[in-house]
Structures are given as C-alpha cells and as structure tokens.
C-alpha cells in the first residue's frame, strides 16, 4: 500500500524544518564515531581505572580493543512496580554478552519516579524535570567512554523518554531498550476507577478504597492501564528499539529472561565491532519520529507524549510540533481500546494481537514508514512479530503476529477501526494552543461552553468540590501549573471529582497549562496550554464567569469576552514560593528558569543552533565528504 499522502506531507515538512539541526546532529554523531572502540582513545590509566574491578577474563576482552563493551544503564528501584524486576537483569545481560565474546558493564543508574506514588503530592512537581535529570544521568554513565553499545533498562513515564534523550546524545552508540513487562491483571481499571468515584462521593470507606487500589496494583511489573508507561512500550516497539514484541511479556518468566539475554546480545552484535553497526542516531530519524506519533495516535496513547516526543526528536536534531500531531491524528484510525480508552488492559491487548498486530495493520494501510532502520536491521516488518521461547527453552524465536484480532473489542484491523481518527487534537484560540485527547471522551462531552471557574492550585479546586460549590456547569481554568511555574505536575487526582460531576449530568471541562496522566480519560480537558501563564499566557486574563468555549471538533479554545475588555485586563499574579521549596524543589530552580514551552517538549537542554556550530570533524577519510543525511552545510572540514 502506498504511503498515505498526509504522512508524506508531514514527514517532508519535518525534514525541511529540521534540516539545519538534523545536519548538525549527524555531524556531531560522525565526529563522535571514531573507527574502532571508543576506549581506544583512553589512556592506559583511564582504561585501568575503567576495568580495575573486572573479573580477569573480562579484563582480557576489554584489553582487546576489537571486542565490544556494552554499557548497562538502569533505572532499577523498588519503588516502581514496573522497574523492580530490573534488579536481576544485569547478571543475565553480562552472562549473555560474554557468550558472544563481548563484555557488559553496569555503567550507571538513573533515578526513576513513580507518578502513581507522587500523584497529587508535592513530589509530582519534580516529575517532568526528572526526565531531563535522567537524560543527564545517562550522559554521566556513558561519559566514561568505555563503550561501543548500550542497553537501557526502563519503562515508566519519564524514564524511557529520559533514557532515549540521553542515548541520543551518544547517537554514535547502538541502543537497545530492555523492558521488564506488565504485572498480571488484577482488579480491573474500570472497577478501580468506580471505587475512587464512590470514595469521592463519600459512599466508600478509606479501607474499601485502599483494598481496591491494592487489588489493582498488586505485584511486580508495569501497571496494566494504557498510560504513559505502556505508551512508551508501544513507541519503543514501533521505533524499533525493542526486540519485536518484547513490551508486554510478564516479568519473572522464562521468556522474559530469554528476551533480556537476546536483547543484550543484539546490542553487542550491532556495535562497530559486531556484524552490523547500527547507531541509535541513525535509527531515530524523521520517519521514525513520524511512526512514533502515528502509533501513539492509533492506540489512544498518553497525552504526555505531546511533550516527550518533541523532546526526544529535538535530541536527535528533529523539530516537530502539535500541528504535526493534529494533521496525523485526522487520518490515523484508532485501532486499540485499552483503559482509559476502553475496559481492556495491556495483557488483554497483547493476547488479542498486541504491538505487532497494530504495526502490521498500519503498515498495510500505508500509515507507517516501512523503510526505516531498527535494531533488527532494515525495515519495520521485522517488528510485526511476537516472541516465543525457542525449542528447549534456550533463546527466543519470533513468529508473525496474528493475522486476525483475538478480540475485536480490544484491537481492530485498519479496515474496521474504533474510530477513523486518532483522537488527539490541537485546540487553539485566544487562550493559547493546547492538546485535547478525545479517544477516551464520549462524543457528547467533546464540546463544552460554560462559565469559567478560575483556580490557581489543584488543592483550591478540591476544596471547592468538597464544599459542594461545583455542582453546576463550568469550565475549570486551572493555571500556574506550567513548567516554569511549578514543574507542570499531572492533575490526574482531579479526575474522580470531575467524573462525578459529569456523571451527574453537569457540563464540565478542564483548561490548564498543566498536564494530565496518560491514565486520565473521560472528562474533556485542554491541557499543556501554551504559552503558560508565567510566559505571559492569556490564562492570566481569565476571570470567574467568563464564558469558555472548548470544542474538539472545531479545534476551538476561547474565552468569549469583549476584546476591549479582554485587552484591558491585567495579568493575574500568584505566590508560587510554596512550589519552589520543600521535597527538593529548591534544587530545580535552574530547570524552572530555563525550561522551554510545552510544545517544544518542556525541555531544559538543546543543541546550539547549527549556524553557531562549526563542526570540525576528525579528518581522515571524512574530509571532503558531506556528513551522511545532511546537506552541503555540513561539509566535513579538516580539523585545525
Ligand atoms: O502518565 C501516566 O500514565 C501516569 O503518570 C501514571 O503513570 C500514573 O501513575 C497515574 O497516576 C496512574 O494512575 P492512577 O493514579 O489512576 O493509579
Ligand atoms: S505505570 Fe505509573 S504508577 Fe505504575 S509503576 Fe509506572 S510510574 Fe508508577
């Protein structure tokens, strides 16, 4: 099937928009890639320090510069149920890499925050910034420059984006992402949400609530809803950074461990010393990023990726924006209904066909770029498969994903989608630009026009709800929640209250410069409003009682206020110091001061503009050639 014209158009404009920065990125990659192992540029002293604690036979391998050294960068901790299984992965990885004549070293750990533990708590105000801190931690781990490839252990919200951003700043190294897999299904997400709403109405006790939550989140592995963590897994599959179908295999099983070993060996084999050199900076290109956006939309993935994918793309010198998401969403069908977009969880999704089924359906419909490079080599078709234990339980074999869906209530072919569009729209108007996920919102709730109720904190909103002041039609305008203000926390804790009001027949919506969780759903919300209020955004001009019109179908987000009155208003002010001290938030002032707008990924990093970058590559056989993938701007020059 020919590629869909909208994919052609969006990809072409991303390539054109990114040419200078992508060219600079590729030039940096080439400059970092020297023939032979990175550790070849280290002194004997550096090297001796690097392998001092190594077993003798591994030291011998590291001394032989033609053998690959694989870095392990891990986000293991006991706090995230999803990351707890990583505790024993390094040993599997080291043994497996040794079996292919190479060496793996635990290069460094990175922090990992659980948004479920911090949801509604002060810690959530560090969450988004933890992504860039993870990227920095990844760079610190790899800065020893002992490595020729790397494996990244991570799953959850900010962790995979942070690891990938870090990995892309070492784009000359191959990267294989290794997941831990989902927890087995417990109390359904729908029943969990119902208990929460009953508790918010005072119809369930705290004991009943805790019992319900503990039955839902009951063991090791990723939470089973389709939030940001599991959206990350889908993206790693479609970007070709996982072994095919590795995402949703339960932790602690033979197949999980076999996949971990096989992934580690793949990392060694695609190093410069291996059979086929595949650096991550060549995998993550414009087509790969477009494929990621398409897969996110086709599965009803987390709105947080309208922040993370621009940040990931930027790390590879690629510039995307919300118009790209919006144009793709108009033509990408919704092929999966996983909670909060339906009742199923990721275990049901995997059993019904999973990631390989979705990738194949989208490829056959011309809705993904097939001509991409992945860790498996050329072509995305390698990822329309799922893994099985090889005969005798040693190793992994890959078989084609099911030809037909195992459950049409969970995953569908592109010929009969749940809806013809991907359910994530750009809304804009005199309140700014914002993102609205509609795949989990009933059609009758996707347009709301009601008086504004303005809040400067989620605590103020909940106090009004508990005082019974919200039993009415309204649009909650919750501001001072942007990255500069307080780190752009998720406001998912408001969902039960808003859902109760909606269920009671009230027309309610949320407009905020903050974020929601990937697990947020049924209430219409225009989020990530840019520019945020601290950047002079118009949310600061809204007053209680203004009529707010939010409409997903027409893409409108506006305050219906006389323009003379509107422009005469002063910008609202708020004392944000409570969000800048305590729980370590005082350590993140530099992030709040330098963070970019949500639409640019709310990042605190970035390559200098390529016009300021004269990339002097190490001479050798590069001189006189243009850097692969760039244009004449980046002709390789002889180093001074
Ligand atoms: O983006 C996400 O998917 C969320 O951050 C998710 O990781 C977070 O943990 C939610 O809070 C879980 O949902 P509950 O809070 O409803 O359990
Ligand atoms: S999915 Fe969310 S709640 Fe579950 S472990 Fe990951 S960060 Fe925590």
Q: Is 630 domain-assigned?
A: no
What is the rounded distance in angstroms from the CA atom of residue 505 to the CA atom of residue 509?
12
Instruction: With respect to residue 199, please indicate whether it lies within any of the assigned structural domains.
Output: no
**Is the distance from the beta carbon of residue 160 to the nearest atom of ligand 2 less than 6 Å?**
no
Q: Is the CB of 413 under 6 A from ligand 2?
A: no
Specify the number of domains making up the chain: 2
Looking at the structure, do residues 302 and 179 belong to the same domain, yes or no? yes
Q: Are residues 320 and 465 in the same domain?
A: no
Indicate which atom in ligand 2 lies nearest the CA of residue 517. Answer: 2
pTM for the model: 0.93
The pLDDT, as a whole number, for residue 54 is 86
Q: Is 116 in the pocket of ligand 2 (CB under 6 A)?
A: yes
In the sheet that holds 69-74, the strands lie side by side as 103-109, 69-74, 149-153, 175-178
Q: Indicate which ligand has the atom closest to the C-alpha of 226.
A: 1
- Which residue has the least CA distance to atom 3 on ligand 2? 116
| Residue 265 located in a structural domain | yes
Residues 144 and 273 both lie in one domain: yes
Q: Which helix (H) or strand (E) holds 19?
A: helix 5-32
- Ligand 1: atom nearest CA of 493 is 15
Ligand 1 pocket check for 81: Cβ under 6 Å: no
From ligand 1's centre to the CA of 492, what distance in Å? 7
Q: Which ligand does the CA of 340 lie closest to?
A: 1
Helix (H, G, I), strand (E, B) or coil at 478: strand
Binding-site positions for [4Fe-4S] cluster? 156, 223
pLDDT of residue 34: 72
Q: In this structure, are 381 and 496 located in the same domain?
A: no
Same domain, 263 and 308: yes
The domain boundary, picked from 546, 561, 577, lies at 577
Asked if the structure places residue 267 within a domain, the reply is: yes
Q: Where are the alpha helices (DSSP H) in 175-253?
A: 189-200, 206-216, 228-238
Say yes or no: 364 and 432 in one domain.
Answer: no
pLDDT for 51 equals 83
**Residue whose CA is closest, atom 4 of ligand 2?**
223
Domain ends where: 561, 577, 593?
A: 577
User: Ligand 1: which residue has its CA nearest to atom 9?
Assistant: 116
Binding site residue list:
156, 223
Q: Which two tokens stand for residue 383?
A: 């990822």
Tell me which of 224, 492, 494, 515 to substitute to probe ligand 1's pocket, judged by most ligand atoms within 8 Å of the beta carbon: 492
How many angstroms is it from 337 CA to the middle of ligand 2? 19
Closest-approaching ligand to the CA atom of 492: 1
d(C-alpha 26, C-alpha 36), whole Å = 19
Q: How many CB atoms lie within 10 A of CB 558?
A: 18
Q: From the CB of 80, is ligand 2 less than 6 Å away?
A: yes
CB proximity list for 631: less than 8 A, separation 6 or greater:
19, 23
Residue nearest to atom 8 of ligand 2 (CA): 114
Residue 490 in contact with ligand 1 by CB distance below 6 A: yes
> Are both 393 and 446 inside the same structural domain?
no
| Residue 559 contacts residue 544 (beta carbons within 8 Å) | no
Pairwise CA distance, residues 66 & 9, whole Å? 43
**Closest residue by CA, ligand 1 atom 14:** 116
Ligand nearest to the CA of 119: 1
Has residue 625 been placed in a domain? no
Question: What confidence tens digit (pLDDT) does each residue in 531-571 have?
Answer: 999 999 999 999 999 999 999 999 999 999 999 999 999 99
Which atom of ligand 2 is nearest to 230's Cα? 1
Angle at the Cα of 286 from the Cα atoms of 280 and 287, rounded to 5 degrees:
95
Mean pLDDT, the chain, rounded, equals 92
CB of 123 closer than 6 A to ligand 1? no
CB 481 near ligand 1, within 6 Å: no
Question: b/e per residue, 207-236, with b = 16+ CB within 10 A?
Answer: eebeebbeebbeebbbbbbbbbbbbbbbbb
**Containing domain of residue 151, as a range?**
5-117+128-192+214-400
- For ligand 2, the distance from its centroid to the CA atom of residue 128, given in whole angstroms, is 14
Whether residue 429 sits in one domain with residue 390? no
Residue 412 lies in a domain: no
The answer to whether residue 250 sits within a structural domain is: yes
User: Which DSSP letter does residue 222 get?
Assistant: B
- Ligand lying nearest the CA atom of residue 223: 2
What pLDDT score was predicted for residue 36? Answer: 57
At 40 the pLDDT is 77
269 with 153, same domain? Answer: yes
Count of residues for the chain? 640
Can you read off the two tokens belonging to residue 38? Answer: 């990175």
Of 138, 140, 116, which Cα lies nearest the Cα of 127?
Answer: 116
Confidence (pLDDT) at 350:
97
Average pLDDT per block of 10 residues along the chain, 640 residues long: 96 97 94 76 84 85 84 97 97 97 96 94 96 98 95 98 98 98 92 89 91 90 96 98 98 97 98 92 98 98 97 97 97 96 95 97 98 98 97 92 97 97 92 94 96 97 97 98 97 93 97 92 95 94 98 96 95 95 96 94 69 35 46 40
292 & 325 share domain: yes
Residues 218, 82, single domain; the answer is yes
Answer whether residue 71 is part of any domain.
yes
**Going by DSSP bridges, is the β-strand pair 547-551/432-437 parallel, antiparallel, or unpaired?**
unpaired
Shared domain check, 454 and 324: no
The predicted-structure confidence for 7-24, as pLDDT tens digits, reads as follows 999 999 999 999 999 999
Given 533, 557, 577, the domain boundary residue is: 577
Cis (ω within 30 of 0) for the bond into 531? Answer: yes
Verify whether ligand 1 is closer than 6 Å to residue 115 (CB atom).
yes
ipTM beyond cut 0.95:
yes
Q: Whose CA is nearest to atom 10 of ligand 1?
A: 116
Ligand 1 geometric centre to CA of 638 (Å): 51
Q: CB of 119 closer than 6 A to ligand 1?
A: yes
């Amino acid at each position: 099937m020919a590629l869909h014209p909208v994919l052609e158009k969006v990809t072409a404009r991303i390539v054109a928009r990114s040419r200078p920065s992508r060219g600079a990125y590729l030039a940096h990659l080439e400059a970092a890639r020297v023939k032979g192992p990175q550790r070849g540029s280290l002194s004997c002293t550096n090297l001796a320090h690097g392998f001092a604690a190594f077993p003798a036979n591994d030291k011998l391998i590291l001394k032989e510069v033609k053998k690959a050294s694989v870095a392990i960068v891990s986000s293991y901790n006991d706090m995230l149920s999803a990351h707890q299984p990583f505790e024993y992965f390094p040993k599997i990885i080291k043994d497996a890499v040794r079996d292919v004549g190479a060496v793996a070293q635990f290069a460094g750990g990175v922090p990992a925050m659980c948004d479920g533990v911090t949801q509604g708590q002060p810690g959530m105000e560090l969450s988004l910034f933890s992504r860039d801190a993870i990227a920095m931690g990844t760079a610190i781990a790899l800065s020893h420059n002992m490595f020729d490839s790397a494996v990244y252990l991570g799953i959850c919200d900010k962790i995979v984006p942070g690891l990938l951003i870090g990995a892309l700043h070492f784009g000359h190294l191959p990267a294989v992402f290794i997941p831990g897999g989902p927890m087995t299904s417990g109390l359904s997400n729908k029943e969990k949400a119902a208990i929460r709403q009953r508790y918010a109405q005072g119809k369930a006790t705290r004991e009943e609530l805790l019992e319900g939550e503990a039955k839902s989140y009951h063991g090791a592995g990723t939470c089973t809803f389709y939030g940001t963590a599991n959206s990350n897994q889908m993206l790693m599959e479609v970007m070709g950074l996982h072994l095919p179908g590795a995402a949703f295999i339960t932790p602690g099983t033979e197949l999980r461990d076999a996949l971990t070993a096989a992934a580690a060996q793949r990392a060694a084999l695609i190093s410069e010393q291996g059979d086929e050199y595949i650096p991550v900076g060549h995998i993550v290109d414009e087509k790969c990023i477009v494929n990621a956006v398409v897969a996110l939309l086709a599965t009803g993935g987390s709105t947080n990726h309208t922040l993370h994918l621009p940040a990931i793309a930027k790390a590879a010198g690629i510039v995307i924006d919300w118009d790209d998401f919006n144009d793709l969403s108009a033509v990408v069908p919704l092929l999966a209904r996983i909670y909060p977009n339906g009742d199923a969880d990721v275990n049901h999704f995997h059993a019904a066909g999973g990631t390989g089924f979705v990738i194949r359906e989208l490829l056959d419909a011309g809705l993904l770029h097939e001509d991409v490079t992945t860790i498996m080599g050329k072509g995305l078709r390698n990822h329309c498969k799922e893994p099985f234990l090889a005969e005798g339980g040693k190793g992994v074999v890959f078989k084609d994903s099911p030809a037909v869906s195992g459950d049409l209530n969970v995953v569908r072919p592109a010929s009969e989608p749940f809806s013809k569009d991907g359910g994530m729209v750009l809304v804009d108007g005199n309140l700014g630009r914002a993102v609205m996920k509609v795949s989990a919102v009933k059609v009758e709730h996707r347009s709301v026009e009601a008086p504004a109720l303005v809040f400067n904190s989620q605590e103020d909103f909940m106090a009004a709800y508990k005082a019974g002041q919200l039993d009415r039609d309204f649009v909650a305008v919750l501001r001072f929640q942007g990255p500069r203000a307080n780190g752009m926390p998720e406001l998912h804790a408001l969902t039960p209250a808003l859902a109760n009001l909606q269920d009671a027949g009230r027309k309610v919506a949320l407009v905020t410069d903050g974020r929601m969780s990937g697990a947020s759903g049924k209430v219409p919300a225009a989020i990530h409003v840019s520019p945020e209020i601290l950047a002079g955004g118009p949310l600061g001009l809204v007053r209680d009682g203004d009529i707010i019109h939010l409409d997903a179908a027409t893409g409108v987000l506006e305050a219906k206020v006389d323009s003379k009155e509107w422009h005469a208003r002063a910008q609202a002010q708020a004392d944000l110091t409570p969000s800048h001290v305590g729980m370590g938030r005082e350590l993140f002032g530099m992030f709040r001061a330098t963070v970019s707008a949500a639409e640019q990924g709310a990042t605190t990093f970035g390559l200098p503009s390529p016009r300021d970058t004269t990339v002097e590559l190490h001479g050798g056989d590069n001189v006189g050639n243009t850097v692969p993938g760039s244009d004449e701007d980046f002709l390789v020059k002889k180093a001074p």
